Structure 1
Amino acid sequence: MSISKMLASITQYISEAAMRIFGPNDDAYPTIGVQPFTGDPYKKGTADNW
């Protein structure tokens, strides 16, 4: 393998990694937002009865 092909291969490898790091996200997470609290608040007196 000649030096020019090896240099081109290394350059392509590094540039593809940089494009993946700094490119837009391809995550498919749903946007669910903040979930409301549906439980009971802690009360010190009731927890002592266990």
Structure 2
Amino acid sequence: MVVYVSEAAGRIFSPSDNTYPVIGVQPFDGIPYHGSEWED
């Protein structure tokens, strides 16, 4: 029981192990819609 609780606590307080790719901000590649009545 102690090992089970200590392993859980270790996972909570350890550094993240997520390996997400570094993507960054993507530029807009579309064409803006100009048919709106609310357009300035």
- What TM-score results when the alignment is normalised by the length of structure 1? 0.58
Question: Which has more radius of gyration?
Answer: 1
1:42 lines up with 2:33 in the alignment: yes
CA deviations on 1:22-42 (whole Å, 9 max, x unpaired) are 211111111111111111112
Runs of 5+ consecutive residues of structure 2 not aligned to the other structure: none
Aligned-residue sequence identity (percent) comes to 58
Query: For residue 35 of structure 2, what is the amino acid of its counterpart?
Result: K
Question: Normalized per residue, which structure has more helix?
Answer: 1
- What TM-score results when the alignment is normalised by the length of structure 2? 0.66
CA RMSD of aligned residues (A): 1.4
